[in-house]
Amino acid sequence: MRSKKKKSGGIYYSDELVTIYHGDCRDILPTLPKVDLVLTDPPYGIGANKQTLGTGKKEFYRGGNWDAERTPLVNMLPDIAGEVVVWGGNYYTDMLEPTNDWLIWHKKNDGLSFSECEVAWSNLGCQMRHISHHWGGECKVHPTEKPLAVIVWAMSYSKTEGLVFDPFMGSGTTLRAAKNLGRKAIGIEIEEKYCEIAAKRMLEPTPLERTVEEGSIADQVRKSLGYNNPTFLKGGV
């Protein structure tokens, strides 16, 4: 089922696993049910919107004012869910408790003008972990989009299979990862064009429509190095 509203604040898309809200997460958050895992990538407040990145052969101008300042909502995330993953958490260490559960994505693009790694704060009890996954953002439809493989990998350390929430949904990668893993998810995005992109991604078939015969979904991802398994990554980046 899909529903669409003209004004911000309503449900933009919904199906049996995923619900997308179009609006400001500060307004919508109080109306939502309790969630089990928050996995999100908020603004960092480093002015990335003004950066022009590249080696001279191809440049990426990010534009807008979406990264002009940090969001105080990050301070509230541990109260929203028992499990929390915040990409760019290194910019929020004054708001988040010290942790040994950092998740590190090595982009395998060493020597370029882009950052070679990105890190996420978490309280997943997994100790510090890293993934090496090459992706230069060639197929990005959102300025700060993460590869689906990396988000699936991060989600695999969750000890619950309950409701996932991303208050800064962007193009919907967290929701697509959750859907591929058979988890329910809620996302909020303030820009309608990204709600539309995310909704179209949710309409793609999920590999988990087949029967899972043994073990939890997360265990299967870890055991089979699921972040390199195209079965789990179906849906694009």
Taking a C-beta distance cutoff of 8 angstroms, is the pair 169, 198 a contact?
Answer: yes
Could you tell me whether strands 83-87 and 117-122 are parallel, antiparallel, or unpaired per DSSP bridges? antiparallel
Is the confidence at residue 63, as pLDDT, over 80?
no
In percent, the amount of the chain with pLDDT more than 90 equals: 56
* Mean pLDDT on 22-51: 84
How is 150-218 classified by DSSP, letter by letter? Answer: HHHHHHTT-S--S-EEESS-TTSHHHHHHHHTT--EEEEES-HHHHHHHHHHHTSPPGGGSPP-SS-HH
13, 154, 157, 86 alpha-carbon torsion, rounded to 10°: -80
pLDDT value at residue 216 = 58
Q: How confident is the model at residue 161 (pLDDT cuts 50, 70, 90)?
A: very high
Q: For the chain, what is the mean pLDDT?
A: 80
Q: How confident is the model at residue 222 (pLDDT cuts 50, 70, 90)?
A: low
217 inside domain? yes
Which of 165, 16, 25 lies closest to 82 in space, CA to CA? 165
Model confidence, pTM: 0.79
* CATH code of 74's domain: 3.40.50.150
15 inside domain? yes
3 inside domain? no
Is the confidence at residue 231, as pLDDT, over 70?
no
Taking a C-beta distance cutoff of 8 angstroms, is the pair 66, 101 a contact?
Answer: no
pLDDT per residue as tens digits for the range 136-149: 655 666 667 788 99
The total number of structural domains that make up the chain: 1
23 inside domain? yes
Q: Among the listed ranges 100-104, 122-126, 203-207, which one has the minimum average pLDDT value?
A: 203-207
Is the confidence at residue 200, as pLDDT, over 70?
yes
4 inside domain? no
Residue with structure tokens 């199906």?
A: 15
Domain span at 87: 11-233
Instruction: Say how many C-beta atoms besides its own lie within 10 A of residue 10's C-beta.
Output: 13
